[in-house]
Amino acid sequence: MLFFLVANLDWVATQYVKAKETLDRYLWLEQDLAQLENDYGVRLRADLASADYPPNWLDDETDTDTGNLTIVRDGQPVDTSTKIVPTGEGTDFTRFVRILKPEIERYAPALIRQHLSYIYSFDTLLFDGAAAGGTYSRELNSLYLVTKNYPALQRAAAIEIKTIFHHEFSSILMHHYNFDEQAWRQAAGEGFRYKGDYDITFESLFFSNLIDAPPPEILFQRGLLHLYGETGVENDLNMYAENIFNDPKRMKTLIATYPAIARKYAVFKTFYLGIDPGLAPVFAAIDE
**pLDDT (tens digit per residue) in 77-91:** 545 455 777 888 889
Question: In terms of pTM, does the model score above 0.75?
Answer: yes
Q: What is the mean pLDDT of residues 49-64?
A: 64
Instruction: Answer whether residue 218 shows pLDDT above 80.
Output: yes
Query: What confidence tier does 65 reach under pLDDT thresholds 50, 70, 90?
Result: very low
Q: Do 146 and 6 sit in the same domain of this protein?
A: yes
Residue 10: domain span:
2-157
Q: Which of 141, 157, 173 is the endpoint of a domain?
A: 157
Q: Are residues 112 and 243 in the same domain?
A: no
Residue 172 lies in a domain: no
Residue 129 CA, chain-centre distance (Å), reads 19
Domain co-membership, 12 together with 150: yes
pLDDT at site 50: 72
pLDDT for 60 equals 45
Whether residues 44 and 76 share a domain: the answer is yes
Whether residue 85 sits in one domain with residue 46: yes
pLDDT over 90 percentage in the chain: 59
Give the torsion through C-alpha atoms of 103, 172, 266, 220, to 10 deg: 90
Do strands 142-146 and 148-149 pair parallel, antiparallel, or not at all (unpaired)? Answer: unpaired
- Asked whether residue 72 is domain-assigned, the answer is yes
Choosing from 123, 157, 191, the residue where a domain stops is 157
Same domain, 149 and 195: no
Count up the domains in the chain and report the number. 2
In a domain, 268, yes or no: yes
Which pLDDT score, from 0 to 100, does residue 196 have? 86
Whether 104 and 238 share a structural domain: no
Count the neighbouring beta carbons within 10 Å of the beta carbon of residue 7: 10
